[in-house]
Amino acid sequence: MKQILILLLCISSLVLKGQGLPVNPGLQKEISVHDPVMIEAKGIYYIFCTGHGIAVWSSTDRVNWKREKPVFDEAPSWAVSAIPSFKNHIWAPDISYWKGNYYLYYSVSAFGKNTSCIGLATNRSLDPQSPDFKWVDHGKIIQSYPGITNWNAIDPNLITDDQGNPYLAFGSFWDGLKMARLSKDRLKIIGDTIELPTIASRKKDLSDKTNPPSVDNNPPDAGGNTIEAPFVFKKGNYFYLFASIDYCCKGPKSTYKMILGRSKSVTGPFIDKEGLEMRRGGGSLLLEGNENWYGVGHNAVCTFKGKDYLIYHGYDAHDDGKSKLQIKELKWDALGWPEVI
């Protein structure tokens, strides 16, 4: 009887594979994500990424992933008021932990415009089964406006300086990537929210506030300043600024790639391997597409069990350019620059 049951289980497994269904429902080794960020909490790894209500995945091994409920079942009312076209498709979240709470910054935007906002939600636990699990939305942190701000309030990333003061890096296209000081409680921007310092750009002239003509389906007003997705990571004596350049979201036509520079100050200037400032068009290439990936980008950098990892998405050249999760270990060379292995 036992042998018959084993035979039936094997046949069932083969049938499921033949139908293209997962043998373990709810678990996927190769998951489709966009703009992923990862964190570990009590032995469980969580991914937050672009998706309806903010997509969430969990894993015990960073290989097998389970789809969790989104952060927001319904679009936050403040976001609908600020961005009338917003339909709860939330972009590029950033997750961090501080003083007993998880801080999740996220982006809402009208596609192709800098009609955008960054919001914040917090939670005492990331485990949906915990009695402490409840997302509390704190609403808008900062907003960008066409014709008023020459930057775009998307792609947030929180970083603290050596004294523990929090900053938020963000931005895409237009005038480049920006950085703003946060209040001690991390709930609001302090200081000027119109004229913000540029920390990275493809423009070489900081005084150039114009945007070149739109090309290749650029956002209409953003021009050719194809840079986005800042992520700042502290390693040793340096703050490393990672950014993505060229084009995402085009499947086989994606040309996404990652660049970086570093600074001993959290606010920069960030300098690449050639000594060029990232705010003046500099940035050393870290990773680009190849015969297997049309483009790669929008990365986070995380440390798990003493090892540093590059977390990003790539457009699969063997699967119609679908966006998929990639996790690669980072090594640091003798001069302190990261290399993907």
In the residue annotation, 228 being an active-site residue is answered as: yes
Annotated active-site residue in 228, 246, 272, 277: 228
In the residue annotation, 68 being an active-site residue is answered as: no
Annotated active-site residue in 35, 94, 175, 246: 35
Query: What gap in Å lies between CA 138 and CA 42, rounded to an integer?
Result: 25
CA distances in angstroms from 87 to 33, 48, 82, 259, listed in the order given: 19, 18, 12, 32
Q: What is the DSSP letter of 14?
A: H
Listing DSSP states for 85-114 in one string gives T--SEEEEEEEEEETTEEEEEEEEE-TTSS
Q: Rounded to 5 degrees, what angle do the CA atoms 105, 339, 311 make?
A: 30
Distant-in-sequence, close-in-space partners of 267: CB < 8 Å, separation ≥ 6: 161, 167, 179, 197, 199
Q: Is 233 exposed, middle or buried (0-12, 13-18, 19+ CB in 10 A)?
A: buried
Query: What gap in Å lies between CA 137 and CA 53, rounded to an integer?
Result: 12
What are the catalytic residues? 35, 228
